[in-house]
Structure 1
Amino acid sequence: MKVEAGSFSISLPSTPLPARSSRVTCVVAATLAFLLGVAVGVTLPIVLVHSPLSSSVQVAFARQDASRDTGSFIQPMKKPEGVRSLTASVHTWSPYIASKLGINNDSSSTPSLRISNDVSATDQNDIQSEWRQMPSERDVPDVEEATALLVDGIYWADSVEGKLPTGFSDSEVDEWRKFTRQHAVVRLEEGCGRMQNRLIIFENGTKSCCRYRQNYDQIQGEIFSFYLSRLLGLTNVPPSALGVVKASAWQWSNVGSQLALAQWTEERPVVMTRFIEGLVPAFIPSSLREAKRRLHPMNVEEQDPQNVAALIELAQWSDLVIFDYLTANLDRVVNNLYNMQWNPKMMEAPAHNLARHKQSGLLVFLDNESGLLHGYRLLDKYESFHASLLKALCVFRRSTAERVRQLVLRRDVGDRLRKMFRRYEPDLQDYLPPIPDKSIKILNERLQNVHKQIAKCEKWYRNS
């Protein structure tokens, strides 16, 4: 007799046995058949799952599903060794793969692996190829490295520098200077700061804030502060040019009565600054508002790397602090600091004579007339405020630090400012004196102080 169980068989003796022996034999055979069936039924699937055959089986099932569904279904792949989870990091998919798979690039969603019918076989091969080339864990930069905001301890990284607004270029400055000499003024309006300043409108509708003063030092302060900003590579000061008020001259002949109403004296030098549209108030950074104010690397590290607008504004503040310290500008942040004795919340108010261009994010340094002359005469009263802001600064733009270093080494800032005045304003030499020697001496000392502060910060933070 032959008993079969699955693919196994057992031959039993065919010789007749006693009735009791036959019953025992049947029971044994049935038990063996049951045990063998269980063993085969459990062992075989386990072997098949771990064999290369399993992928073929899945493909076969996928093809059968494709014949019933409108699209083909790709089984979710097992995460390769060392690759981060897809559900936690959707950005590991390239834009190409995301577009082909219909993945919404949102880290809060889990990517779907269903591919639409219009994906060609070539596209699917490219997707699979790119998947195989995904970086391993060691190739994926650390979050800290990917979002580095500073380099060499104290300098803004290229990730920030590359996003800064370009400001006013050299070509724009040259064009403005030429424009103010070639176009007639057709109207004067009140505005642009102090009482005798005027908003002037040229014949083509272009506007300019025109600065008029009875004394020379504030006109000198405005134009030489502008020149210094160009020497430092700072493009935040609007293009400015000098002019001379002459009611009988062709440029002013249309507004003779308005000049008399403004009480402008004949043959006085004025500064014509390009009017900038789209400006909004700018506020002092929170780290500089406190009594123990500071803008150091740790203050930058507290910033959200995704908040690009805040970062590019903070980077421009590092330039503003240097510029205002060098010129001893009284009418900007020092104005807020000084007025805190009457208004403790003054640092929360918009910074005086500072605005932000809403579209580009450029900080515009306005009204610098107190710089280099008037502010220098009042250092005994205000130097503590200037010094506190410089000492609070330990983050710099590398280009600005390098310009300061060059001016300190060459000690030629006075010569360069005077050459700029002669080159750009040859017709104004008899109307406006050059920057005085005393101011140049103080400026050189302040350049050295800025250079020392940069060196001190490098020592503190370069290897930290």
Structure 2
Amino acid sequence: MRAEWLSFFLALLGRVSPCIPSPRANRTESWSCSLSCAPSVSTLDPYRVKEVVRVKRRVGASVKTLAVARQWSEWRERVGGVRVVRLEAGCGRNSNRLATLEDGSRACVRYGVDQDQVLGETLCFHLAMLLGIPNVPPLALTKPDPSSQQWSAVRDSIEALRWSPDAIVSLTQWVPNATRVSIPAQLRKHMGAGVRPVSHVPWTSENMTSGDLSELMQWTDLILFDYLTANFDRVANHLFNLQWDRRAMDRATNNLLRTTEGHLVFIDNEAGLVHGYRVLDRWEHFHKALLNSTCVFRGLTVQRLMELKRSRSAAQCLRQVYRAREPLAQELGFLSEAQLVTLQNRVDMLCGHVQQCSTGT
């Protein structure tokens, strides 16, 4: 399982390069948001942080994207058909369980307090796939029906948990041997400092190791992703806690793990999108403070965001891939029209921030 997760991650992450794109970066080819026509991966030539770079397409990276799509489909197909043979405590909330499958692999079963949490978790995964962010574990939806072949072996456990057989639950890939992680000091000291002109960005490829740069890009992907989804149950929560705990930023980050290979894993995204948008007014100050802490980004993430802005297609693409990949999508539901407007607005705001970084204004 560990090897499988590493293969999945490396295939999608590809080569990491920092990016502060010019306004021309949004003039990329249009791409279909359908599963069969996934956007090509683009990478950026190495550069000094002060410089503006051009996006270049690479066939090899596109092949990697298709490989990841196949791996994701294979994992989903296996999980959808294999029997659950054991349920035990784990995976956060008491209502969740760590499942052992018949083939020996494991998965987190997330039984939300309400279906909005399951919907938020699910949509966050599909949005991460759209953006080419590989840090969110693969996910599939199912129903824990003890009369079905998949769940019959754990009937007693389901009844003891009082799970409804009609509830929709998410199965997410278990990441073994992962540890908790704190915000890097280099990034932490800039959180909330405001937008910095390019010439003042303190991080350059010259003074960072490849490992340091890779981790920084993952952290800035996390900041962009949590801003887009308005997920308050991760780094934003630490900023909130500074009101009474001055060491809050030093503590392990909520819902974030690091694998033994050093890759960050964004887990428990159920606060994103649905609930996050519902309480946005209360948390927006913290989301903006985190976003304003960085002007260094991964090239692929920026390119995808710019295309969603140019085409005005964030809602359309998310709906399309979600319904194409999830047979239970119609029953679980989708975002409201107001929430879809919020999603596109936040895509626009992220692109505005990136462009502001590139001009130094």
TM range (shorter): 0.7 to 0.9
Alignment correspondent of 1:454 = 354
Q: Does residue 358 in structure 1 map to residue 260 in structure 2?
A: yes
> Structure 1: 5+ residue runs without aligned partners?
1-146
Which residue pairs with 2:94 in the alignment?
A: 195
The whole-number CA distance in structure 2 between the counterparts of 1:366 and 1:154 is 32
Aligned partners of 1:154 and 1:394 also within 8 Å: no
Aligned match of 1:334 in 236, 242, 260? 236
Shift of 1:154: 8.1
User: Residues 247-299 of structure 1, C-alpha deviation per residue, up to 9 Å, x if partnerless?
Assistant: 10110111111001122112110110000113122221224423654696532
Separation in 2, partners of 1:263, 1:430: 25
SS across alignment from 2:145: coil
1:375 Cα deviation from its structure 2 partner? 0.7
Residue pair 2:47, 2:53 contacting (<8 A) in 1 also: no
Which one of the candidate residues 297, 321, 324 is aligned to 1:396? 297
With structure 1 as the length reference, what TM-score do the two structures score?
A: 0.62
Q: Please say if residues 111 and 118 of structure 2, whose CA atoms lie closer than 8 Å, have aligned partners that are also in contact.
A: yes
Shift of the alpha carbon at 1:328? 0.4
Please say if 1:385 is aligned against 2:286: yes
Aligned residues: 306
Structure number with greater CO (CA < 8 Å, separation at least 6) is: 2
Map of 2:172 onto structure 1: 273
Are positions 1:232 and 2:131 aligned together?
yes
Distance 1:344 1:413, change over 3 A: same
CA RMSD, 1 decimal:
2.6
Tell me how far apart the structure 2 counterparts of residues 444 and 148 of structure 1 sit (CA, whole Å): 30
The 8 Å contact of residues 331 and 370 in structure 1, kept in 2 or not, is answered as: yes
Q: Are positions 1:322 and 2:224 aligned together?
A: yes
Change over 3 Å in CA distance of 1:151–1:177 after alignment to 2:
farther
Q: Distance in 1 between matches of 2:48 and 2:123?
A: 33
Deviation at 1:175, TM superposition (A): 1.2
1:184 to 74, 83, 104: 83
Give deviations 1:399-457, integer Å, cap 9, x for gaps.
1111111101111221222222221122x145311222222110111001001001111
Which SS does the other structure have where 2:203 is aligned? helix
Could you tell me whether the CA contact under 8 Å between 2:49 and 2:205 is conserved in 1?
Answer: no
Query: 1:372 corresponds to which residue?
Result: 273
Per-residue deviation, residues 86-114 of structure 1 (Å, max 9, x unmatched): xxxxxxxxxxxxxxxxxxxxxxxxxxxxx
Moved more, 285-294 or 380-389: 285-294
Paired-residue identity, %: 37
Q: Is the 8 A contact 2:309 2:347 kept in 1?
A: yes
| Cα offset, 1:169, TM superposition | 2.5
SS of 1:431's equivalent in the other structure is: helix
Task: Letter of the 2:240 partner, please give it.
Answer: Y
Distance 1:241 1:148, change over 3 A: same
Contact 1:200 1:208 in 2 (8 A): yes
Q: Which has the larger radius of gyration?
A: 1
The normalised TM-score by structure 2 is 0.79
Determine if contact 1:315/1:397 at 8 Å carries over to the other structure: yes
Give the deviation of 1:179 after TM superposition: 0.9
Q: Are 2:307 and 1:406 aligned? A: yes
Q: Deviations over 1:195-222 (max 9, x none)?
A: 1011011111110011102411111100
Distance, in Å, in 2 between the alignment partners of 1:155 and 1:369 is 35
Q: How far has the Cα of 1:152 moved from its partner?
A: 2.7
Contact 1:287-1:295 at 8 Å conserved across structures: no
> Relative to structure 1, is the Cα distance of residues 329 and 379 closer, same or farther in structure 2, using a 3 angstrom cutoff?
same
Which amino acid is 2:279 matched to?
L
Give the conservation status (yes or no) of the 8 Å contact 1:295–1:395: no
Larger mean CA deviation between 200-209 and 388-397 belongs to 388-397
- 1:299 matched to 2:202? The reply is yes
- Distance (Å, rounded) in 2 between the aligned partners of 1:181 and 1:302: 43
For residues 442 and 153 of structure 1, what CA distance do their matches in structure 2 show? 29
Spell out the pairing of 1:142-181 with structure 2 (5 A cutoff).
149-150=48-49, 152-153=51-52, 169-181=68-80
Residue equivalent to 1:99 = none
Q: Which amino acid aligns with 1:327?
A: T
CA contact (8 A) 2:177 2:259 kept: yes
Is the 1:394–1:454 contact (alpha carbons within 8 Å) kept by the matching residues of 2? yes
Task: Quote the Cα distance in structure 2 between the aligned partners of 1:418 and 1:156.
Answer: 27
